[in-house]
């Protein structure tokens, strides 16, 4: 009976976890399609070393805090990554008035999590790597 209860509990946990995947917690101010396209562009440009393109779509506040040189320095901290293979597990939500995209970028040698936030004008306002 304990084994059966453990299996049922495990299935319930998996069901709750899967129910949360892909769900959108966005308000009226953001479009999942626009956030996805913007995030893919930032990830691809970062991966290719095109830091200027990343910052062209950034808010004035982010541009003041993050220069091309600083962005390159942060990116280089993640060492040898290899080529970008795919972007997976995108999650969209709204936090504190910003549209936030969390995405996993899979490279030949490692995975990197990008968390990107956008203001209502779809300007990149936050850029975090993990």
Tell me the per-residue pLDDT of 97-124, one tens digit each, with 9 for 90 and over.
999 999 999 999 999 999 999 999 999 9
Q: For position 19, what pLDDT does the model report? A: 36
Token pair for residue 56? Answer: 């062209």
Q: What percent of the chain has pLDDT over 90?
A: 77
Q: For position 31, what pLDDT does the model report? A: 95
d(CA 20, CA 29) in angstroms, rounded, equals 21
Q: For position 95, what pLDDT does the model report? A: 94
Q: What angle do CA 8, 11, 13 make, to 5 degrees?
A: 110
CATH class of 26-129: alpha beta
pTM score, whole prediction: 0.79
The domain locations on the chain are 26-129
Rg of the chain, C-alpha, whole Å: 18
């Amino acid at each position: 009976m304990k084994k059966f209860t453990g299996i049922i509990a495990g299935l319930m946990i998996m069901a709750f976890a899967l129910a949360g995947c892909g769900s959108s917690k966005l308000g009226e101010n953001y479009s999942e399609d626009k956030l996805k396209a913007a995030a893919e562009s930032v990830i691809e440009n970062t991966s290719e070393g095109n830091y200027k393109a990343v910052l062209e779509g950034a808010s004035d506040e982010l541009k003041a805090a993050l220069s091309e040189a600083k962005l390159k320095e942060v990116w280089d901290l993640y060492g040898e990554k290899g080529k970008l293979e795919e972007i997976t597990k995108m999650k969209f939500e709204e936090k504190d008035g910003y549209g936030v995209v969390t995405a996993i970028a899979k490279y030949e040698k490692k995975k990197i999590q990008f968390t990107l936030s956008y203001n209502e004008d779809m300007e990149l306002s936050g850029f975090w790597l993990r």
